[in-house]
Structure 1
């Protein structure tokens, strides 16, 4: 089997069928107008294909799901397309992440003689591993959906804006990352970034927080309260800043009203946390007054001289550390 045939087999294996329809044929079979269909493809992150044959029965079923949800009043059109845009954005990143992760496995299989080529190794993985991971994706999504619904419910039905709440935002970034990255090859840089992001995610999650996004040399996370956010930040410094294979770390922490939308968070605390991390010394945590108000004798705090923070004027950051000899009872 030549490369072209193997490539078609891989696509068919992943997509679950042959591609024999144009976009116009798909939307007609699925029950959407051509204009709505094009909006759907773009929302999902797929380019316009014109009259090219690029779709199959799975695409028809997807269009029918969206069309039925709008027609039966389950979702209004705006909400339906916002939901699909969220899916497209998230799944695109997930697919890139999965493929880049699997490259090492594919190379190993080829070098070890398990597969004759990269395409054959990819087909083997798509055949044997994909079904189980597809079920795992659905499971993880349901678990996170239940957790997100619980967070919203906990805010209380009296809240006028359920997507806006007070939380503590943390921004952790690596010190002198640019100069370090310039001296590493691609493989070493990728390993460093993955190690940093993985360790940050594990620490934040262990403290009950959530990683909102990663930016290579930085991680944005949120916690429900300032005390746990501060504990998380100090733990990040303790576990990452002391590792010889990773650069030093700086953390900024701010507390206030934050809007959650499209899987991201927005508001002054987000920007302030980033500004504080940028002026923090290596392996230090800086917090704002809003965070300091919630902290108790567990922490030592010292107010620093005022300094200009872009967008916030002159502010006095507060350095925080764990009080020596303090014994936690929780």
Structure 2
């Protein structure tokens, strides 16, 4: 039977109550409620142990609050929703914590992304005709206008990606007995001399460069039915189900990054083989090898491993083994250069 919160707390709209500090005003605008509960009270209202409450809170990515009144009725409702899934037997508590951790890590990055974008918009507003004379007022207005439509977009995007992930799992199930392992082509694209370049740029220029790099890579990978697994500022890790599409993505990234005189040069490595998808990431030798191959590649060039070369149609591609060289973690490796016939 689903758990229901045993208590209720009055919601407070922004502007209610005593005079608030700027952080408190912004927090209230986002959450819609003032914190009135501590962790022990949340646990008591939802019928879970204090240890379970702490595990869920840590899984979301937040530090423990002890006896501090840092929680609202929304926290009670969220915990109750999670525990209703556990009580129904659909998931055990450890699985629920695992999914909570995934949501926490993903949404923390999304929130940082959103705030940095809104901060730029606030600066634009306050330097233009719509200026209010208060950055806080402009921020509060943006929060009020964007929260509901962005929530709808967030749920829509999650459902779309969930449907795509289920389809990938179903496709793997048709050819694999082990759904924990999948054969893919892994790509790694790395900006050349990014550290040295970043020392010459101001913070705004670095941010613009990284955003442009990630956006262009995302566009190229998406067009060829691939997925960006993660980005690390000056590099991106992507995965595809087909080696030919991997070549097309690599060529596309070199074209939109390396051939643009306003962007740094780029190196791309591809490796193919079995990987283990876990926690939104992928693990296995092809991941490490693709990253290592970028150190071997020349500027604005692609280097692949022999496994990827073996998957390419011989009538479309010509491959050439390069001299063996030491690759960290793999010993001596013979990288492969490839070109279209």
Alignment match, 1:217: 234
Residues 6 and 120 in structure 1, CA contact (< 8 A), matched pair in contact too: no
Check if 1:27 corresponds to 2:43.
yes
Q: Distance in 2 between matches of 1:49 and 1:125?
A: 29
Q: Distance in 1 between matches of 2:176 and 2:44?
A: 42
Alignment match, 2:337: 319
Q: 1:278 is paired with a residue of what secondary structure?
A: coil
Find 1:149's aligned residue among 166, 178, 182.
Answer: 166
- Go from structure 1 to structure 2 and tell me whether the alpha carbon gap of 1:307 and 1:119 turns closer, same or farther (over 3 Å shift): same
Q: Which runs of 5+ in 2 are unaligned?
A: 1-14
Q: 1:279 is paired with a residue of what secondary structure?
A: coil
What value does the CA root-mean-square deviation take over the aligned residues? 1.5
Alignment match, 1:72: 88
TM-score, length-scaled by structure 2: 0.91
> What does residue range 99-178 of structure 1 map to in structure 2 within 5 Å?
99-112=115-128, 113-156=130-173, 159-178=176-195
Q: Distance in 2 between matches of 1:163 and 1:202?
A: 28
Check if 1:299 corresponds to 2:320.
no
Q: What per-residue deviation string (whole Å, max 9, x for no partner) do you get for residues 264-297 of structure 1? A: 0000000000011111000110000100011122
Q: Distance in 2 between matches of 1:305 and 1:139?
A: 49
Give the length in aligned residue pairs: 323
Find 1:88's aligned residue among 90, 104, 107.
Answer: 104
Check if 1:203 corresponds to 2:220.
yes
Alignment match, 1:327: none
Q: Relative to structure 2, which stretch is displaced further, 112-121 or 208-217?
A: 112-121
Give the Å deviation of 1:3. Answer: 8.2
TM-score, length-scaled by structure 1: 0.94
Q: 1:4 is paired with a residue of what secondary structure?
A: coil
Q: 1:97 is paired with a residue of what secondary structure?
A: helix
Q: 2:213 is paired with a residue of what secondary structure?
A: helix
Q: 2:295 is paired with a residue of what secondary structure?
A: helix
Give the Å deviation of 1:10. Answer: 2.1
Give the Å deviation of 1:62. Answer: 0.4
Q: Relative to structure 2, which stretch is displaced further, 37-46 or 177-186?
A: 177-186
Check if 1:50 corresponds to 2:89.
no
Q: 2:294 is paired with a residue of what secondary structure?
A: helix
Find 2:52's aligned residue among 18, 36, 44.
Answer: 36
Q: Distance in 2 between matches of 1:86 and 1:221?
A: 19
Q: Which runs of 5+ in 1 are unaligned?
A: 324-330
